[in-house]
Structure 1
Amino acid sequence: MSSDTTVTESYSWDDYETYSDYPSTSDNNATPCFQDDIYAFAQKYSPIVYSLVFVLAVVGNVLVLCVIRRYRVSQSGGACAFSLTDTFLLHLAISDLLLAFTLPLFAVQWAHQWVFGLTACKISGALFSLNRYSGILFLACISFDRYLAIVHAVSSGWKRNTCHAQFVCAVIWLICFGLSAVEITFKQVVEVETVGHQKAYLCQVWFNSVQWQVGLTMVSIILGFGVPLLIMLYCYIQIFRSLCNASRRQKRKSLRLIISLVSVFVICWAPYNCFQLADSLNKLGVVSGGCQFGHVMDIGILTTESLGLTHCALNPLLYGFIGVKFRRELVRMFKGLLGQRGLLGMEGWKQRRLRKTTGSFSSAESENTSYSVMV
């Protein structure tokens, strides 16, 4: 085969990130890497996973937003009387919902092909990046808030003034929008060869330069995973040291949920970032590999990204199984909805709810670390 002969490239069937070409060897007489089985696997695997995650994420995060809204309405100080932790968790739930709303589009893509046009392709890709960055940054903010409250015993006045947290959240959204601009710039609807050498349109990131692709991938790994993870690890190591001799049981309870959130995030997204790093090293020539290596990378990125996407559906489950106060508030919300029998019944429920809320929150304030509807 001559060097200028056009051959079919090996595509990484990663629906959110860039596809990659893995040349089997530098020898001009080498056989090109055909990976039809990867696309066939994605057609069967991805629609089921994305549809299931979509349903669980929407139902779970809508319940989280309803509970937080109900809790906020019960507060008399307005938006700035809201808990710092709950403020960050509120934005985290919104971020997860934004990602979940894109999943049906990609489920249709893998079941058929991309039929929603270039604009929807770019927006969906941007929402995916937005969730990845904002999710771990909001978790890092929660970790830092717990670090200040427990290790340095920051006064409750700072804790109550969540206008600071709203400002931080606004800055985080702006930063994440800037980082997700890569998807808006490079996301394209491209025609690729599928099973049986048929043509199909997929929403993919298209880079004209390997250097650009590797560089932006490394920025994503460092800023979207590495640095925030180091911040969280530092905060929780210091917190554990501070709580070694602590006698307050509520402090330990309030930490259990936050640590679970961080642990699940790492378990969900660490494998995907590892495969992305290995893929980048291969493109730079640091790691050598041929068709078999490319096959492993394609399958690995596809499956680990699906694992990462399940994260947006797991947070509400953690709230329900670990967050005692969240579970209590959720039960009260359903009892209130089922117990509404006219205006008098509603008013009586509100009065009972207000009395319970006052007692509960006064106790939470005394702990300084459990002033949250989630823990």
Structure 2
Amino acid sequence: MSAEEFNHSFFNANHTPWFVYDCTIVLDADYRRIALFLIYLFVFMVGLLENGLVVWVNWRRRHSANGVLFCIINVSLSDLMVIVILPFFMMEVTMDKVWLWGRFLCKVTNLIYVVNFYSSSFFLAFMTLERYLSLTRPTFPALFPVVGKRRWVLCGGLWILSFFLALMENIHVDILEWDEPGCYMMPEYSFREWFISVAFLCLIFQFLVPAAVIITCNVLIARAVQTAPDVQGRRDVWLVHVYSLVFIMCWLPYHLVMFLMIIDDIDGMLFSCNAIEALYFSFSVVQGISLFHCVANPILYNFLSKSFRDNLINTVVSYIPREETLNQVGAGPNAPNGGGGGEPGKHRKLSNASTSQSDVGS
């Protein structure tokens, strides 16, 4: 929903005439629409499959899982929420920002979209912090304990905070009848103040704070793994840094463009007309690119984990109506309940030192 893009054009057309008459750059919006449609289609198809598998496999062991896996489930649920509403955005892009599904769906889809912005980052940050504490301070109480009300209170608190932050924008989202109906954030009063406030909240709570936690904890995790004398996963230390890199790659372009938009709203004469056109032309593109976190998260935090792959195979095999196959899997070394021999203490020690997020406490 290119609310900021529309609002900016509307505002400047009424207050800075040079914006309308002095532009020399010509950008073809059709290419942007095609790119956005393909991005949405890819994220919808791949993300729906990946996150559906993650929730399906991990939900079966949610009661015995530790805090890391509990956060992974919430991240996938958050990503699934935004994935299921992507068809609305795909149709909106196809019809050049025309919204045909009424005021209720306009508000609901925008709310879900923005809630995912915050909730996904919050749970990734808490998951990384939980991971760091489990490796370096094993006696420290878990942030998301296996049992007890604290897990659900903290989980509910993160969702409520995400909902509250999203609601600050969503209360101003409505259908605007111009040439065609469109779904935009259009405050009745003080648009500039509202837009700057919402953008700064998003920058701080969705990006800067989670990024600081994720990067700091991952650097400390990498150091701890490198110094451990008996860790098999030392060769995978690079993966810890990939977690941070992917988060930055998904969200930095969006927030960088958003920050420049804030500067333009504060001082509308700072940038040239061509720079403004390029800036707002690219906004919806980087907004679409940010959705790649819905595809990257399941791969990084689940499919690269041997524990998750074993559980996925066992879950699929459990639905195959072959008694002999089920018996073999139940007695195998990769059985969900720890089948096969081995030393439990050693297995947990190596599991806790692994660089893969979902291997903790498997």
| Alignment partners' CA distance in 1, 2:246 and 2:177 | 36
- What is the CA distance between 1:216 and its match in structure 2? 1.3
- What is the CA distance between 1:139 and its match in structure 2? 1.0
Q: Residue 42 of structure 1 contacts residue 110 of structure 1 at CA under 8 Å; is this kept in 2?
A: no
| Alignment partners' CA distance in 2, 1:157 and 1:39 | 50
**Where do residues 224-239 of structure 1 align in structure 2 (5 Å cutoff)?**
224-239=206-221
Q: Residue 67 of structure 2 contacts residue 145 of structure 2 at CA under 8 Å; is this kept in 1?
A: yes
For the aligned residues, what is the CA RMSD?
3.4
The code of the aligned residue for 1:55 comes to M
| Alignment partners' CA distance in 1, 2:315 and 2:58 | 11
Give the aligned partner of residue 120 of structure 1: 105
Give the aligned partner of residue 170 of structure 2: 184
Matched, 1:153 2:138: yes
Q: Residue 326 of structure 1 contacts residue 373 of structure 1 at CA under 8 Å; is this kept in 2?
A: no
Give the aligned partner of residue 242 of structure 2: 260
The code of the aligned residue for 1:201 comes to P
Q: Structure 1 pair 260/237, CA: closer, same or farther in 2 (3 Å)? A: closer
Give the aligned partner of residue 43 of structure 2: 53
Q: Which moved more, 1:115-124 or 1:225-234?
A: 225-234
Q: Which moved more, 1:302-311 or 1:252-261?
A: 252-261
Give the aligned partner of residue 183 of structure 2: 203
| Alignment partners' CA distance in 2, 1:189 and 1:250 | 56
Deviations 1:126-172 (A, max 9, x none): 11111111111111101111221222233688886354433321110
Q: Structure 1 pair 259/94, CA: closer, same or farther in 2 (3 Å)? A: farther
SS in 1 for 2:139: coil
| Alignment partners' CA distance in 1, 2:269 and 2:20 | 19
Give the aligned partner of residue 8 of structure 1: none
TM-score by length of 1: 0.80
| Alignment partners' CA distance in 1, 2:318 and 2:348 | 25
Give the aligned partner of residue 82 of structure 1: 65
| Alignment partners' CA distance in 2, 1:85 and 1:329 | 16
- What is the CA distance between 1:314 and its match in structure 2? 2.0
Give the aligned partner of residue 34 of structure 2: 44
- Identity among equivalent positions (%) equals 20
Give the aligned partner of residue 285 of structure 1: 267
| Alignment partners' CA distance in 2, 1:50 and 1:347 | 39
Gaps of at least 5 residues in structure 1 are 1-12, 73-78, 193-198
SS in 2 for 1:114: coil
| Alignment partners' CA distance in 1, 2:237 and 2:19 | 60
| Alignment partners' CA distance in 2, 1:142 and 1:62 | 19
Matched, 1:105 2:84: no
Q: Residue 54 of structure 2 contacts residue 298 of structure 2 at CA under 8 Å; is this kept in 1?
A: yes
Q: Residue 114 of structure 1 contacts residue 203 of structure 1 at CA under 8 Å; is this kept in 2?
A: yes
Q: Structure 1 pair 335/254, CA: closer, same or farther in 2 (3 Å)? A: farther
Structure 2 residue aligned with 1:374, among 333, 358, 361? 358
| Alignment partners' CA distance in 1, 2:127 and 2:237 | 10
- What is the CA distance between 1:51 and its match in structure 2? 1.9
Give the aligned partner of residue 172 of structure 1: 158
Give the aligned partner of residue 302 of structure 1: 284
Matched, 1:14 2:2: yes
TM-score by length of 2: 0.83
- Figure out how many residues of one structure are paired with residues of the other and give that number: 347
SS in 1 for 2:182: strand
Q: Residue 18 of structure 2 contacts residue 273 of structure 2 at CA under 8 Å; is this kept in 1?
A: no
**Where do residues 87-98 of structure 1 align in structure 2 (5 Å cutoff)?**
87-98=70-81
| Alignment partners' CA distance in 1, 2:218 and 2:245 | 11
Gaps of at least 5 residues in structure 2 are none
Structure 2 residue aligned with 1:246, among 228, 231, 244? 228
SS in 1 for 2:181: strand
- What is the CA distance between 1:298 and its match in structure 2? 1.5
Structure 1 residue aligned with 2:54, among 61, 64, 75? 64
Q: Which moved more, 1:294-303 or 1:153-162?
A: 153-162
SS in 2 for 1:188: strand
Q: Structure 1 pair 68/288, CA: closer, same or farther in 2 (3 Å)? A: same
Q: Residue 118 of structure 1 contacts residue 188 of structure 1 at CA under 8 Å; is this kept in 2?
A: yes
Deviations 1:265-291 (A, max 9, x none): 221111100000011011101871232
The code of the aligned residue for 2:123 comes to F
